[in-house]
Amino acid sequence: MNYDLCKKLKDAGFKQTSGHLLTPDGQLDLVMSVEEAKNFGDNWASVPTLSELIEAIEPYAIKLEKRYENRTPEGYLKFSRWYADCFDADDYWFGEGQTAEESVANLWLSIQDPSKRAKSAIAGIVFKGFNGTEECVNCRWKSDPQTHGDKTMTRNGDIVKCNECWAKYPKCNHYKGPDTSNSVNVCENC
């Protein structure tokens, strides 16, 4: 990771640990402790490991994947970026980068950004305010307060969706008919 990203993490409150410390000129010091680094002012930042970044994102479960969206001249897929995301019933966050560490660091920064939070909480108690007849606007799954399994239903204004569709299709409010491919149908505009 570069200094700018490490400094953003530090400024946003990511715990600074001893070990790999980076300075603005890109110098990496493996020996200096956080206490020693403080003698140099504010021009340093700790370089977190992937494990430290993932642990900092708890209690959310994250998905981390390599994306292959570009093509070689021969038509083969080639690596384009790392992508990390997580969600809860109210929010969805993601981060991207050229390394797994960068993508998870950007995900952590996204979670810390208050502007990327839902304006009002819409979850908390499963099925609060539902009568058992609601269905997801995307996949048509029907809520059942007695046997909801792993799915939950959430309402945002007039839009009702299951938790899976909120995560996959946060902006789509359309249904295109019965699904025969075992995947959720959404409109072309999404």
pLDDT at 34: 74
Tell which CATH architecture fits domain 3-116. 2-Layer Sandwich (3.30)
pLDDT at 128: 40
Question: Where in the chain are all domains bearing CATH 3.30.2120?
Answer: 3-116
Using an 8 Å Cβ cutoff, are 108 and 95 in contact?
A: yes
Using an 8 Å Cβ cutoff, are 12 and 109 in contact?
A: yes
Distance CA 123, CA 26 (A): 43
How many CB atoms within 10 Å of residue 58? 8
pLDDT at 31: 63
Q: What is the mean pLDDT of each run of 10 residues along the chain (190 residues)?
A: 92 84 76 73 86 90 89 86 86 91 95 72 43 70 54 65 71 58 52
pLDDT at 95: 93
pLDDT at 127: 38
